Structure 1
Protein backbone atom coordinates (compact mmCIF):
# COMPACT_ATOMS: atom_id res chain seq x y z
CA UNK A 1 0.00 0.00 0.00
CA UNK A 2 1.27 3.48 -0.81
CA UNK A 3 1.26 6.38 1.65
CA UNK A 4 -0.59 8.80 -0.60
CA UNK A 5 -2.91 8.74 -3.58
CA UNK A 6 -2.66 10.92 -6.68
CA UNK A 7 -5.84 12.64 -7.81
CA UNK A 8 -6.36 10.55 -10.92
CA UNK A 9 -4.80 7.41 -12.33
CA UNK A 10 -3.73 7.27 -15.95
CA UNK A 11 -5.87 5.12 -18.22
CA UNK A 12 -3.73 1.96 -18.77
CA UNK A 13 -4.10 -0.69 -21.44
CA UNK A 14 -5.52 -2.99 -18.75
CA UNK A 15 -8.62 -1.36 -17.20
CA UNK A 16 -9.03 -3.95 -14.43
CA UNK A 17 -5.51 -3.15 -13.20
CA UNK A 18 -6.41 0.56 -13.03
CA UNK A 19 -9.60 -0.19 -11.10
CA UNK A 20 -7.81 -2.44 -8.61
CA UNK A 21 -5.31 0.38 -8.14
CA UNK A 22 -7.89 3.00 -7.14
CA UNK A 23 -9.58 0.51 -4.79
CA UNK A 24 -6.28 -0.03 -2.95
CA UNK A 25 -6.96 2.98 -0.72
CA UNK A 26 -3.88 4.43 0.97
CA UNK A 27 -3.35 5.20 4.65
CA UNK A 28 -4.41 8.76 5.47
CA UNK A 29 -3.29 11.35 7.97
CA UNK A 30 -5.02 9.89 11.03
CA UNK A 31 -6.41 6.67 12.50
CA UNK A 32 -9.05 5.00 10.32
CA UNK A 33 -8.39 7.61 7.62
CA UNK A 34 -7.60 6.77 4.00
CA UNK A 35 -7.04 8.56 0.71
CA UNK A 36 -7.97 7.36 -2.77
CA UNK A 37 -7.37 8.29 -6.39
CA UNK A 38 -9.97 8.47 -9.15
CA UNK A 39 -10.42 6.83 -12.50
CA UNK A 40 -10.64 9.29 -15.40
CA UNK A 41 -14.19 9.75 -16.68
CA UNK A 42 -15.76 11.84 -19.46
CA UNK A 43 -17.22 15.01 -18.00
CA UNK A 44 -14.80 15.03 -15.05
CA UNK A 45 -17.21 13.65 -12.44
CA UNK A 46 -16.23 10.81 -10.13
CA UNK A 47 -18.12 7.62 -10.97
CA UNK A 48 -20.48 6.85 -8.08
CA UNK A 49 -19.71 3.14 -8.10
CA UNK A 50 -16.03 3.96 -7.63
CA UNK A 51 -16.45 6.01 -4.45
CA UNK A 52 -18.92 3.61 -2.82
CA UNK A 53 -16.54 0.71 -3.54
CA UNK A 54 -13.65 2.69 -2.04
CA UNK A 55 -15.73 3.54 1.03
CA UNK A 56 -16.52 -0.15 1.51
CA UNK A 57 -12.87 -1.19 1.19
CA UNK A 58 -11.83 1.47 3.70
CA UNK A 59 -14.47 0.29 6.19
CA UNK A 60 -13.47 -3.34 5.66
CA UNK A 61 -9.87 -2.59 6.63
CA UNK A 62 -10.98 -1.60 10.13
CA UNK A 63 -13.06 -4.66 11.08
CA UNK A 64 -11.84 -7.83 12.81
CA UNK A 65 -10.36 -10.45 10.50
CA UNK A 66 -12.90 -12.85 9.00
CA UNK A 67 -15.82 -10.41 8.88
CA UNK A 68 -17.22 -9.56 5.45
CA UNK A 69 -19.79 -6.97 4.40
CA UNK A 70 -23.34 -8.29 4.19
CA UNK A 71 -25.11 -4.95 3.65
CA UNK A 72 -24.50 -1.27 2.95
CA UNK A 73 -26.61 1.85 2.64
CA UNK A 74 -25.16 4.99 1.12
CA UNK A 75 -26.18 8.48 0.03
CA UNK A 76 -24.48 10.34 -2.79
CA UNK A 77 -24.36 13.92 -1.51
CA UNK A 78 -22.67 15.84 -4.33
CA UNK A 79 -20.74 15.19 -7.50
CA UNK A 80 -17.05 14.40 -7.08
CA UNK A 81 -14.22 15.85 -9.15
CA UNK A 82 -11.81 13.34 -10.72
CA UNK A 83 -8.97 15.88 -10.41
CA UNK A 84 -9.19 15.89 -6.58
CA UNK A 85 -8.17 12.98 -4.29
CA UNK A 86 -10.88 11.49 -2.09
CA UNK A 87 -10.49 11.51 1.70
CA UNK A 88 -12.17 8.58 3.46
CA UNK A 89 -12.88 8.72 7.20
CA UNK A 90 -14.16 5.54 8.88
CA UNK A 91 -16.15 5.66 12.11
CA UNK A 92 -16.26 2.49 14.22
CA UNK A 93 -19.87 2.27 15.35
CA UNK A 94 -19.88 -1.18 16.96
CA UNK A 95 -18.00 -4.46 17.20
CA UNK A 96 -20.22 -7.22 18.55
CA UNK A 97 -19.62 -10.94 18.91
CA UNK A 98 -20.64 -11.61 15.29
CA UNK A 99 -21.28 -8.26 13.62
CA UNK A 100 -19.39 -5.01 13.09
CA UNK A 101 -20.88 -1.70 11.91
CA UNK A 102 -18.92 1.07 10.23
CA UNK A 103 -19.75 4.49 8.81
CA UNK A 104 -17.55 5.94 6.05
CA UNK A 105 -17.60 9.57 4.96
CA UNK A 106 -15.98 10.41 1.62
CA UNK A 107 -14.98 14.04 1.04
CA UNK A 108 -13.05 16.28 -1.31
CA UNK A 109 -11.57 19.56 -0.05
CA UNK A 110 -13.69 19.21 3.10
CA UNK A 111 -16.99 18.80 1.22
CA UNK A 112 -18.77 15.44 1.68
CA UNK A 113 -19.58 13.53 -1.49
CA UNK A 114 -20.78 10.23 0.04
CA UNK A 115 -21.97 8.96 3.40
CA UNK A 116 -22.19 5.18 3.79
CA UNK A 117 -22.92 2.76 6.60
CA UNK A 118 -22.03 -0.92 6.24
CA UNK A 119 -22.46 -4.02 8.37
CA UNK A 120 -19.98 -6.89 8.49
CA UNK A 121 -20.50 -10.43 9.80
CA UNK A 122 -18.46 -13.52 10.58
CA UNK A 123 -19.23 -16.62 8.52
CA UNK A 124 -21.96 -18.48 10.41
CA UNK A 125 -24.34 -21.40 9.75
CA UNK A 126 -28.08 -20.80 9.35
CA UNK A 127 -31.19 -21.49 7.30
CA UNK A 128 -30.60 -21.59 3.56
CA UNK A 129 -32.79 -20.87 0.54
CA UNK A 130 -32.53 -18.91 -2.70
CA UNK A 131 -34.83 -17.76 -5.48
CA UNK A 132 -34.13 -19.47 -8.80
CA UNK A 133 -32.34 -17.58 -11.55
CA UNK A 134 -34.32 -16.63 -14.67
CA UNK A 135 -33.85 -18.63 -17.84
CA UNK A 136 -31.85 -16.45 -20.24
CA UNK A 137 -29.37 -16.98 -23.06
CA UNK A 138 -25.79 -17.74 -22.02
CA UNK A 139 -23.42 -14.74 -21.99
CA UNK A 140 -21.48 -16.21 -24.92
CA UNK A 141 -24.65 -15.82 -27.01
CA UNK A 142 -25.31 -12.17 -26.06
CA UNK A 143 -23.95 -9.05 -27.79
CA UNK A 144 -21.44 -7.13 -25.69
CA UNK A 145 -21.03 -3.38 -25.28
CA UNK A 146 -17.80 -3.76 -27.25
CA UNK A 147 -19.69 -5.41 -30.11
CA UNK A 148 -22.32 -2.67 -30.01
CA UNK A 149 -20.18 0.45 -29.93
CA UNK A 150 -16.52 -0.45 -29.61
CA UNK A 151 -15.94 0.88 -33.12
CA UNK A 152 -17.22 4.38 -32.29
CA UNK A 153 -14.64 7.16 -31.95
CA UNK A 154 -16.31 9.00 -29.08
CA UNK A 155 -15.02 9.51 -25.51
CA UNK A 156 -18.17 8.13 -23.86
CA UNK A 157 -18.23 5.09 -26.16
CA UNK A 158 -14.54 4.41 -25.42
CA UNK A 159 -15.17 4.80 -21.67
CA UNK A 160 -17.86 2.09 -21.63
CA UNK A 161 -15.97 -0.27 -23.97
CA UNK A 162 -12.17 -0.08 -24.28
CA UNK A 163 -11.64 1.67 -20.92
CA UNK A 164 -14.23 -0.34 -18.97
CA UNK A 165 -13.03 -2.96 -16.48
CA UNK A 166 -16.17 -5.04 -17.14
CA UNK A 167 -17.59 -6.89 -20.11
CA UNK A 168 -21.27 -5.88 -20.16
CA UNK A 169 -23.83 -7.86 -22.20
CA UNK A 170 -27.51 -6.83 -22.30
CA UNK A 171 -29.94 -9.66 -23.00
CA UNK A 172 -32.36 -8.29 -25.60
CA UNK A 173 -30.28 -5.24 -26.47
CA UNK A 174 -28.76 -2.24 -24.70
CA UNK A 175 -29.83 1.40 -24.37
CA UNK A 176 -26.48 2.83 -25.49
CA UNK A 177 -27.51 3.99 -28.96
CA UNK A 178 -31.30 4.13 -28.73
CA UNK A 179 -34.36 3.12 -26.71
CA UNK A 180 -35.70 -0.42 -26.44
CA UNK A 181 -38.25 -1.42 -29.12
CA UNK A 182 -40.89 -1.95 -26.42
CA UNK A 183 -40.91 0.13 -23.20
CA UNK A 184 -40.78 -2.22 -20.21
CA UNK A 185 -39.05 -2.17 -16.84
CA UNK A 186 -37.48 -5.64 -16.98
CA UNK A 187 -33.81 -5.85 -17.94
CA UNK A 188 -31.29 -8.69 -17.76
CA UNK A 189 -27.56 -8.17 -18.09
CA UNK A 190 -24.52 -10.45 -17.95
CA UNK A 191 -21.36 -8.89 -16.55
CA UNK A 192 -17.82 -10.07 -15.82
CA UNK A 193 -14.49 -8.42 -15.03
CA UNK A 194 -12.13 -8.31 -18.00
CA UNK A 195 -9.32 -9.95 -16.05
CA UNK A 196 -8.52 -12.08 -13.02
CA UNK A 197 -9.14 -10.57 -9.58
CA UNK A 198 -7.20 -11.60 -6.44
CA UNK A 199 -9.02 -14.03 -4.16
CA UNK A 200 -10.02 -11.35 -1.63
CA UNK A 201 -13.76 -11.54 -0.92
CA UNK A 202 -13.93 -7.94 0.36
CA UNK A 203 -12.46 -6.82 -2.95
CA UNK A 204 -14.91 -8.89 -5.00
CA UNK A 205 -17.86 -7.47 -3.05
CA UNK A 206 -16.56 -3.93 -3.52
CA UNK A 207 -16.11 -4.58 -7.25
CA UNK A 208 -19.71 -5.73 -7.45
CA UNK A 209 -20.75 -2.41 -5.89
CA UNK A 210 -18.68 -0.64 -8.54
CA UNK A 211 -20.02 -2.68 -11.45
CA UNK A 212 -23.71 -2.50 -10.67
CA UNK A 213 -23.74 1.30 -10.64
CA UNK A 214 -23.23 1.22 -14.42
CA UNK A 215 -26.68 -0.26 -15.01
CA UNK A 216 -28.83 0.24 -11.88
CA UNK A 217 -31.02 3.01 -13.34
CA UNK A 218 -31.31 1.58 -16.85
CA UNK A 219 -34.66 -0.15 -16.11
CA UNK A 220 -36.08 3.32 -15.31
CA UNK A 221 -34.94 4.56 -18.72
CA UNK A 222 -36.12 1.40 -20.47
CA UNK A 223 -39.62 1.61 -19.00
CA UNK A 224 -39.92 5.29 -19.99
CA UNK A 225 -38.82 4.62 -23.58
CA UNK A 226 -35.56 6.53 -23.10
CA UNK A 227 -31.92 5.77 -23.91
CA UNK A 228 -28.55 7.18 -22.91
CA UNK A 229 -28.71 9.33 -26.06
CA UNK A 230 -32.07 10.94 -25.24
CA UNK A 231 -31.53 14.72 -25.74
CA UNK A 232 -31.41 16.61 -22.46
CA UNK A 233 -31.42 13.47 -20.29
CA UNK A 234 -29.97 14.06 -16.80
CA UNK A 235 -29.28 11.07 -14.54
CA UNK A 236 -27.57 10.97 -11.14
CA UNK A 237 -27.48 8.36 -8.36
CA UNK A 238 -29.05 9.53 -5.10
CA UNK A 239 -28.75 6.53 -2.80
CA UNK A 240 -27.63 2.93 -2.96
CA UNK A 241 -28.39 -0.19 -0.92
CA UNK A 242 -26.82 -3.63 -1.23
CA UNK A 243 -27.16 -6.98 0.48
CA UNK A 244 -24.62 -9.73 -0.17
CA UNK A 245 -26.08 -13.18 0.44
CA UNK A 246 -23.18 -15.38 -0.62
CA UNK A 247 -19.58 -15.14 -1.73
CA UNK A 248 -19.26 -13.61 -5.17
CA UNK A 249 -16.63 -13.67 -7.88
CA UNK A 250 -16.76 -10.78 -10.32
CA UNK A 251 -14.24 -12.44 -12.65
CA UNK A 252 -16.88 -15.06 -13.49
CA UNK A 253 -20.16 -14.26 -15.23
CA UNK A 254 -22.88 -12.69 -13.09
CA UNK A 255 -26.49 -12.22 -14.19
CA UNK A 256 -28.26 -9.01 -13.17
CA UNK A 257 -32.05 -9.48 -13.13
CA UNK A 258 -33.47 -5.95 -12.98
CA UNK A 259 -36.69 -3.97 -12.91
CA UNK A 260 -38.06 -0.55 -11.96
CA UNK A 261 -41.14 -0.64 -9.69
CA UNK A 262 -41.69 3.13 -9.61
CA UNK A 263 -40.70 6.51 -11.02
CA UNK A 264 -42.08 9.88 -9.88
CA UNK A 265 -41.04 13.42 -8.99
CA UNK A 266 -37.93 13.32 -11.17
CA UNK A 267 -36.74 10.17 -9.38
CA UNK A 268 -36.72 6.53 -10.39
CA UNK A 269 -36.09 3.31 -8.46
CA UNK A 270 -34.08 0.42 -9.84
CA UNK A 271 -33.88 -2.98 -8.18
CA UNK A 272 -31.61 -5.88 -9.03
CA UNK A 273 -31.06 -9.50 -8.08
CA UNK A 274 -27.58 -10.82 -8.92
CA UNK A 275 -27.07 -14.52 -9.69
CA UNK A 276 -23.84 -16.36 -10.32
CA UNK A 277 -23.32 -18.67 -13.28
CA UNK A 278 -24.55 -21.67 -11.24
CA UNK A 279 -27.88 -19.91 -10.51
CA UNK A 280 -27.27 -18.99 -6.85
CA UNK A 281 -28.53 -15.58 -5.68
CA UNK A 282 -25.41 -13.75 -4.48
CA UNK A 283 -26.72 -10.20 -3.94
CA UNK A 284 -29.75 -7.93 -3.98
CA UNK A 285 -29.39 -4.24 -4.83
CA UNK A 286 -31.61 -1.16 -4.91
CA UNK A 287 -30.84 2.35 -6.09
CA UNK A 288 -32.89 5.53 -6.45
CA UNK A 289 -31.69 8.16 -8.85
CA UNK A 290 -32.58 11.51 -10.29
CA UNK A 291 -33.91 10.97 -13.81
CA UNK A 292 -34.95 14.13 -15.64
CA UNK A 293 -35.89 14.86 -19.22
CA UNK A 294 -36.87 18.22 -20.70
CA UNK A 295 -40.61 18.88 -20.64
CA UNK A 296 -42.37 20.14 -23.74
Structure 2
Protein backbone atom coordinates (compact mmCIF):
# COMPACT_ATOMS: atom_id res chain seq x y z
CA UNK A 1 0.00 0.00 0.00
CA UNK A 2 1.49 3.36 -0.99
CA UNK A 3 1.87 6.29 1.42
CA UNK A 4 -0.82 8.23 -0.49
CA UNK A 5 -3.23 5.28 -0.31
CA UNK A 6 -2.48 4.78 3.39
CA UNK A 7 -3.23 8.45 4.07
CA UNK A 8 -6.46 8.15 2.09
CA UNK A 9 -7.46 5.07 4.08
CA UNK A 10 -6.93 6.95 7.33
CA UNK A 11 -8.52 10.20 6.14
CA UNK A 12 -9.78 10.38 2.51
CA UNK A 13 -10.20 14.15 2.80
CA UNK A 14 -6.69 14.84 4.15
CA UNK A 15 -5.33 15.96 0.77
CA UNK A 16 -8.02 18.66 0.60
CA UNK A 17 -7.15 20.37 3.87
CA UNK A 18 -4.23 22.39 2.53
CA UNK A 19 -4.68 26.04 1.62
CA UNK A 20 -3.17 25.40 -1.82
CA UNK A 21 -6.18 23.39 -3.00
CA UNK A 22 -7.92 25.20 -5.91
CA UNK A 23 -11.55 26.11 -5.28
CA UNK A 24 -14.26 27.46 -7.53
CA UNK A 25 -16.34 30.58 -6.86
CA UNK A 26 -18.50 28.56 -4.45
CA UNK A 27 -15.50 27.21 -2.51
CA UNK A 28 -15.77 23.68 -3.94
CA UNK A 29 -12.37 21.93 -4.25
CA UNK A 30 -11.18 20.80 -7.69
CA UNK A 31 -7.95 20.33 -9.62
CA UNK A 32 -4.89 18.14 -9.03
CA UNK A 33 -5.30 17.58 -5.24
CA UNK A 34 -8.85 16.30 -5.75
CA UNK A 35 -7.71 14.05 -8.61
CA UNK A 36 -4.82 12.81 -6.45
CA UNK A 37 -7.36 11.75 -3.85
CA UNK A 38 -9.31 9.77 -6.46
CA UNK A 39 -6.09 8.06 -7.54
CA UNK A 40 -5.41 7.24 -3.87
CA UNK A 41 -8.89 5.77 -3.48
CA UNK A 42 -8.24 3.55 -6.51
CA UNK A 43 -4.91 2.38 -5.06
CA UNK A 44 -6.38 -0.57 -3.18
CA UNK A 45 -4.76 -2.30 -0.23
CA UNK A 46 -3.80 -5.90 -0.99
CA UNK A 47 -4.90 -8.11 1.92
CA UNK A 48 -4.26 -11.52 0.38
CA UNK A 49 -3.33 -12.90 -3.05
CA UNK A 50 -6.81 -12.29 -4.51
CA UNK A 51 -8.34 -10.03 -1.86
CA UNK A 52 -8.17 -6.22 -1.79
CA UNK A 53 -9.66 -3.48 0.36
CA UNK A 54 -10.87 -0.02 -0.61
CA UNK A 55 -12.36 2.97 1.20
CA UNK A 56 -14.73 5.82 0.34
CA UNK A 57 -14.30 9.58 0.86
CA UNK A 58 -15.99 11.13 3.87
CA UNK A 59 -18.03 13.49 1.70
CA UNK A 60 -19.94 10.57 0.13
CA UNK A 61 -23.76 10.64 0.33
CA UNK A 62 -25.70 7.84 2.02
CA UNK A 63 -24.57 5.36 -0.66
CA UNK A 64 -21.18 4.70 -2.21
CA UNK A 65 -20.97 6.27 -5.67
CA UNK A 66 -21.41 3.53 -8.29
CA UNK A 67 -18.51 4.72 -10.43
CA UNK A 68 -16.19 4.42 -7.43
CA UNK A 69 -17.01 0.79 -6.69
CA UNK A 70 -16.82 -0.07 -10.40
CA UNK A 71 -13.41 1.59 -10.69
CA UNK A 72 -12.08 -0.08 -7.55
CA UNK A 73 -13.37 -3.51 -8.63
CA UNK A 74 -11.64 -3.10 -11.99
CA UNK A 75 -8.40 -2.16 -10.21
CA UNK A 76 -8.70 -5.36 -8.15
CA UNK A 77 -9.22 -7.46 -11.28
CA UNK A 78 -6.41 -5.75 -13.17
CA UNK A 79 -3.88 -6.34 -10.42
CA UNK A 80 -4.18 -10.09 -10.97
CA UNK A 81 -3.57 -9.81 -14.74
CA UNK A 82 -0.25 -9.33 -16.62
CA UNK A 83 0.24 -5.67 -17.59
CA UNK A 84 0.49 -6.47 -21.31
CA UNK A 85 -3.15 -7.65 -21.33
CA UNK A 86 -5.52 -4.69 -21.59
CA UNK A 87 -9.10 -4.76 -20.33
CA UNK A 88 -11.49 -4.72 -23.28
CA UNK A 89 -14.86 -5.22 -21.56
CA UNK A 90 -16.64 -5.33 -18.22
CA UNK A 91 -20.13 -6.33 -17.13
CA UNK A 92 -21.35 -5.41 -13.66
CA UNK A 93 -24.37 -5.50 -11.36
CA UNK A 94 -25.11 -3.12 -8.50
CA UNK A 95 -26.63 -5.45 -5.91
CA UNK A 96 -26.98 -3.31 -2.77
CA UNK A 97 -26.23 0.28 -1.84
CA UNK A 98 -22.76 0.52 -0.33
CA UNK A 99 -22.10 2.18 3.04
CA UNK A 100 -19.36 4.84 2.58
CA UNK A 101 -18.38 4.60 6.26
CA UNK A 102 -17.35 0.94 5.92
CA UNK A 103 -14.33 -0.38 3.92
CA UNK A 104 -15.17 -2.50 0.87
CA UNK A 105 -13.48 -5.89 0.40
CA UNK A 106 -12.93 -6.99 -3.20
CA UNK A 107 -12.61 -10.75 -3.77
CA UNK A 108 -11.13 -11.73 -7.15
CA UNK A 109 -11.85 -15.07 -8.82
CA UNK A 110 -9.29 -15.99 -11.50
CA UNK A 111 -11.75 -17.56 -13.91
CA UNK A 112 -9.42 -18.19 -16.86
CA UNK A 113 -5.95 -17.43 -18.17
CA UNK A 114 -5.89 -18.26 -21.87
CA UNK A 115 -3.31 -17.68 -24.59
CA UNK A 116 -4.91 -14.38 -25.68
CA UNK A 117 -7.65 -13.63 -23.15
CA UNK A 118 -7.85 -13.46 -19.36
CA UNK A 119 -11.15 -13.45 -17.47
CA UNK A 120 -11.71 -12.25 -13.91
CA UNK A 121 -14.74 -12.05 -11.65
CA UNK A 122 -14.85 -9.65 -8.68
CA UNK A 123 -17.34 -9.47 -5.82
CA UNK A 124 -17.40 -6.38 -3.58
CA UNK A 125 -18.40 -7.21 -0.01
CA UNK A 126 -19.48 -5.17 3.03
CA UNK A 127 -20.52 -6.72 6.35
CA UNK A 128 -20.39 -10.17 4.79
CA UNK A 129 -22.83 -9.33 1.97
CA UNK A 130 -22.19 -8.73 -1.71
CA UNK A 131 -22.96 -5.17 -2.83
CA UNK A 132 -21.52 -5.34 -6.36
CA UNK A 133 -20.24 -7.92 -8.84
CA UNK A 134 -18.10 -7.45 -11.93
CA UNK A 135 -16.76 -9.66 -14.71
CA UNK A 136 -13.92 -8.30 -16.83
CA UNK A 137 -12.05 -9.63 -19.84
CA UNK A 138 -8.47 -8.72 -20.77
CA UNK A 139 -6.72 -9.32 -24.10
CA UNK A 140 -3.26 -9.19 -25.60
CA UNK A 141 -3.01 -6.51 -28.31
CA UNK A 142 -3.47 -7.96 -31.79
CA UNK A 143 -4.26 -6.60 -35.28
CA UNK A 144 -7.69 -6.87 -36.90
CA UNK A 145 -10.53 -5.09 -38.69
CA UNK A 146 -10.87 -1.44 -37.69
CA UNK A 147 -13.81 0.95 -38.11
CA UNK A 148 -15.75 3.30 -35.84
CA UNK A 149 -18.63 5.77 -35.65
CA UNK A 150 -17.80 9.42 -36.23
CA UNK A 151 -17.95 11.87 -33.33
CA UNK A 152 -20.93 14.24 -33.32
CA UNK A 153 -20.25 17.85 -34.26
CA UNK A 154 -20.18 19.71 -30.93
CA UNK A 155 -18.54 22.87 -29.52
CA UNK A 156 -15.01 22.55 -28.15
CA UNK A 157 -14.83 21.95 -24.37
CA UNK A 158 -12.81 25.12 -23.74
CA UNK A 159 -15.73 27.21 -25.03
CA UNK A 160 -18.20 25.79 -22.50
CA UNK A 161 -18.78 26.80 -18.85
CA UNK A 162 -17.59 24.54 -16.03
CA UNK A 163 -20.06 22.67 -13.88
CA UNK A 164 -19.42 25.07 -11.02
CA UNK A 165 -20.21 28.03 -13.26
CA UNK A 166 -23.55 26.43 -14.11
CA UNK A 167 -24.67 26.20 -10.48
CA UNK A 168 -26.81 29.14 -9.38
CA UNK A 169 -27.48 30.12 -5.73
CA UNK A 170 -31.01 28.72 -6.12
CA UNK A 171 -29.67 25.36 -7.27
CA UNK A 172 -27.14 25.28 -4.43
CA UNK A 173 -29.99 25.71 -1.99
CA UNK A 174 -31.93 22.82 -3.60
CA UNK A 175 -29.03 20.40 -4.04
CA UNK A 176 -27.12 21.23 -0.86
CA UNK A 177 -24.14 18.94 -0.21
CA UNK A 178 -24.46 17.31 -3.64
CA UNK A 179 -22.98 20.33 -5.44
CA UNK A 180 -20.35 20.85 -2.73
CA UNK A 181 -18.58 17.54 -3.35
CA UNK A 182 -14.98 17.86 -4.56
CA UNK A 183 -14.79 17.32 -8.33
CA UNK A 184 -11.98 15.08 -9.64
CA UNK A 185 -13.60 15.13 -13.10
CA UNK A 186 -13.99 18.37 -15.05
CA UNK A 187 -17.46 18.22 -16.66
CA UNK A 188 -18.61 20.65 -19.39
CA UNK A 189 -22.21 20.21 -20.61
CA UNK A 190 -22.79 20.50 -24.36
CA UNK A 191 -26.54 19.97 -24.07
CA UNK A 192 -28.40 21.92 -21.41
CA UNK A 193 -28.01 20.24 -18.00
CA UNK A 194 -31.23 18.50 -16.95
CA UNK A 195 -31.32 20.44 -13.68
CA UNK A 196 -31.70 23.62 -15.76
CA UNK A 197 -34.31 22.24 -18.17
CA UNK A 198 -36.44 20.44 -15.56
CA UNK A 199 -39.98 21.80 -15.39
CA UNK A 200 -39.94 22.73 -19.07
CA UNK A 201 -41.63 19.49 -20.12
CA UNK A 202 -40.27 16.41 -21.92
CA UNK A 203 -37.14 16.92 -23.96
CA UNK A 204 -34.81 14.94 -26.17
CA UNK A 205 -33.52 11.71 -24.60
CA UNK A 206 -29.92 12.81 -25.11
CA UNK A 207 -27.13 14.17 -22.96
CA UNK A 208 -23.69 15.30 -24.11
CA UNK A 209 -20.78 16.37 -21.92
CA UNK A 210 -17.07 16.87 -22.30
CA UNK A 211 -15.08 15.32 -19.47
CA UNK A 212 -11.49 14.86 -18.37
CA UNK A 213 -9.64 14.05 -15.18
CA UNK A 214 -9.01 17.46 -13.56
CA UNK A 215 -5.23 17.21 -13.44
CA UNK A 216 -2.41 14.91 -14.57
CA UNK A 217 -2.61 11.13 -14.19
CA UNK A 218 0.35 8.71 -14.01
CA UNK A 219 1.23 6.76 -17.18
CA UNK A 220 -0.69 3.64 -16.14
CA UNK A 221 -3.21 2.50 -18.77
CA UNK A 222 -5.24 0.47 -16.25
CA UNK A 223 -5.60 3.58 -14.07
CA UNK A 224 -6.86 5.60 -17.05
CA UNK A 225 -9.43 2.90 -17.83
CA UNK A 226 -10.56 2.82 -14.19
CA UNK A 227 -10.94 6.62 -14.12
CA UNK A 228 -13.06 6.38 -17.28
CA UNK A 229 -15.19 3.69 -15.60
CA UNK A 230 -15.58 6.04 -12.62
CA UNK A 231 -16.67 8.92 -14.88
CA UNK A 232 -19.04 6.74 -16.92
CA UNK A 233 -21.55 6.57 -14.04
CA UNK A 234 -21.72 10.34 -13.56
CA UNK A 235 -24.12 11.64 -16.23
CA UNK A 236 -25.29 8.58 -18.18
CA UNK A 237 -28.83 8.42 -16.77
CA UNK A 238 -29.28 12.16 -17.38
CA UNK A 239 -30.41 11.16 -20.87
CA UNK A 240 -33.34 9.25 -19.35
CA UNK A 241 -34.29 12.11 -17.03
CA UNK A 242 -34.08 14.70 -19.82
CA UNK A 243 -36.72 12.81 -21.79
CA UNK A 244 -39.15 13.23 -18.88
CA UNK A 245 -38.16 16.73 -17.78
CA UNK A 246 -37.19 15.74 -14.23
CA UNK A 247 -33.99 15.55 -12.18
CA UNK A 248 -32.64 13.94 -9.03
CA UNK A 249 -33.10 15.93 -5.84
CA UNK A 250 -35.42 18.54 -7.32
CA UNK A 251 -38.35 16.30 -8.29
CA UNK A 252 -39.96 13.22 -6.81
CA UNK A 253 -37.48 10.86 -8.50
CA UNK A 254 -35.98 7.71 -6.99
CA UNK A 255 -33.14 6.14 -8.92
CA UNK A 256 -30.05 3.96 -8.76
CA UNK A 257 -27.73 2.14 -11.15
CA UNK A 258 -28.75 -1.48 -11.67
CA UNK A 259 -26.24 -2.87 -14.16
CA UNK A 260 -23.40 -1.47 -16.21
CA UNK A 261 -21.40 -2.68 -19.21
CA UNK A 262 -18.41 -1.11 -20.94
CA UNK A 263 -16.31 -1.95 -23.98
CA UNK A 264 -12.90 -0.32 -24.37
CA UNK A 265 -12.01 -0.05 -28.06
CA UNK A 266 -8.75 1.89 -28.25
CA UNK A 267 -6.05 3.28 -25.92
CA UNK A 268 -6.66 6.75 -24.47
CA UNK A 269 -5.73 9.12 -21.67
CA UNK A 270 -8.44 10.02 -19.17
CA UNK A 271 -6.68 13.30 -18.35
CA UNK A 272 -7.35 14.55 -21.89
CA UNK A 273 -10.76 15.75 -23.07
CA UNK A 274 -13.29 13.11 -24.13
CA UNK A 275 -16.88 13.57 -25.28
CA UNK A 276 -19.56 11.47 -23.53
CA UNK A 277 -22.48 11.20 -25.95
CA UNK A 278 -25.46 9.53 -24.21
CA UNK A 279 -28.95 8.60 -25.42
CA UNK A 280 -31.85 6.72 -23.85
CA UNK A 281 -33.66 4.33 -26.23
CA UNK A 282 -36.25 3.16 -23.68
CA UNK A 283 -37.73 3.51 -20.20
CA UNK A 284 -40.36 1.13 -18.81
CA UNK A 285 -41.23 -0.95 -15.77
CA UNK A 286 -39.59 1.50 -13.37
CA UNK A 287 -36.28 1.22 -15.25
CA UNK A 288 -34.48 3.41 -17.77
CA UNK A 289 -31.89 2.30 -20.32
CA UNK A 290 -29.06 4.56 -21.47
CA UNK A 291 -26.21 4.05 -23.91
CA UNK A 292 -23.10 6.17 -24.16
CA UNK A 293 -20.14 6.61 -26.50
CA UNK A 294 -16.80 8.08 -25.47
CA UNK A 295 -14.82 10.00 -28.11
CA UNK A 296 -11.34 11.46 -27.73
CA UNK A 297 -11.07 15.11 -28.76
CA UNK A 298 -9.57 14.08 -32.12
CA UNK A 299 -12.76 12.11 -32.88
CA UNK A 300 -11.48 8.62 -32.01
CA UNK A 301 -14.14 6.33 -30.54
CA UNK A 302 -12.52 4.98 -27.37
CA UNK A 303 -15.31 3.24 -25.43
CA UNK A 304 -19.01 2.32 -25.41
CA UNK A 305 -21.26 2.07 -22.34
CA UNK A 306 -24.71 0.64 -21.63
CA UNK A 307 -26.49 0.99 -18.29
CA UNK A 308 -29.96 0.27 -16.95
CA UNK A 309 -31.05 2.24 -13.92
CA UNK A 310 -33.91 2.19 -11.47
CA UNK A 311 -36.19 5.13 -12.27
CA UNK A 312 -39.33 5.73 -10.21
CA UNK A 313 -41.05 9.04 -10.83
CA UNK A 314 -43.71 9.96 -8.28
TM-score under structure 1 length normalisation:
0.93
Counterpart mapping for 1:91-240 below 5 A: 91-149=109-167, 152=172, 154-159=176-181, 163-179=182-198, 181=200, 183-240=203-260
Report the counterpart of residue 38 of structure 2 in structure 1: 19
Contact 1:8/1:84, CA 8 A, preserved across alignment: no
1:33 and 2:76 matched: no
Change (3 A) 1:142 1:213: same
* Aligned partner (choices 56, 67, 85) of residue 67 of structure 1: 85
Q: Report what 2:24 is aligned to.
A: none
Unaligned runs of 5+ in 2: 22-32
Stretches of structure 1 lacking an aligned partner (at least 5 in a row): none
Q: CA deviation at 1:123?
A: 1.1
Matched, 1:82 2:100: yes
Is the helix fraction higher in 1 or 2?
Answer: 2
- 1:40-59 map, 5 Å: 40-59=58-77
Q: How many residues align?
A: 290
What is the Cα deviation at residue 44 of structure 1? 2.6
Give CA-to-partner distance per residue, 1:47-89, whole Å, 9 cap, x none.
Answer: 0100010000110010123011100000000000110001000
Compute the TM-score of the two structures, normalised by the length of structure 2: 0.88
Is 1:254 the counterpart of 2:274? The answer is yes
Between the aligned partners of 1:119 and 1:261, the Cα distance in structure 2 is 27
User: Comparing 46-55 with 142-151, which one deviates more in the overlay?
Assistant: 142-151
For the aligned residue pairs, the C-alpha RMSD in angstroms reads 1.8
